[in-house]
Amino acid sequence: METTNTGKTRMLILSLILVFCTVVTMQVLAKDQSEHIVKPSSTGWQHLALTHTVGDTPERELGKNINKLGRDGWELVSVGNITKSGTTTETIFYFKKPL
């Protein structure tokens, strides 16, 4: 009977050691992952919509305007098209830049 109690005690001690090691490992892994979490930026943004009607502005001039905005810190984030009065299409370029 004494041998059985010794075996149970050893199993209990090994189980507690295993649980302790598991908890410590999980905490270490959680800490490592929390250092890589990307926090939301507190930067405010300024927004700009540049409208281009096909045929009104030469493509070369449109390119120059977009390049100038890029040099001034504006980032192109989206482009959308709107059809107006049947066949006239406007392209809207959406930009943002940090305040």
Q: How far is CA 49 from CA 3, 43, 66, 73, 79, in A?
A: 82, 20, 11, 14, 9
What is the pLDDT confidence band of residue 69, given thresholds at 50, 70 and 90?
Answer: very high
Give the domain ranges of the chain. 1-39, 45-98
What pLDDT was estimated at residue 73?
94
Q: What's the average model confidence in pLDDT over 84-89? A: 78
Does the structural domain 45-98 have CATH classification 3.30.70?
yes
- At position 71, the amino acid (one-letter code) is R
Dump pLDDT digits (tens) for 43-55. 789 999 998 887 7
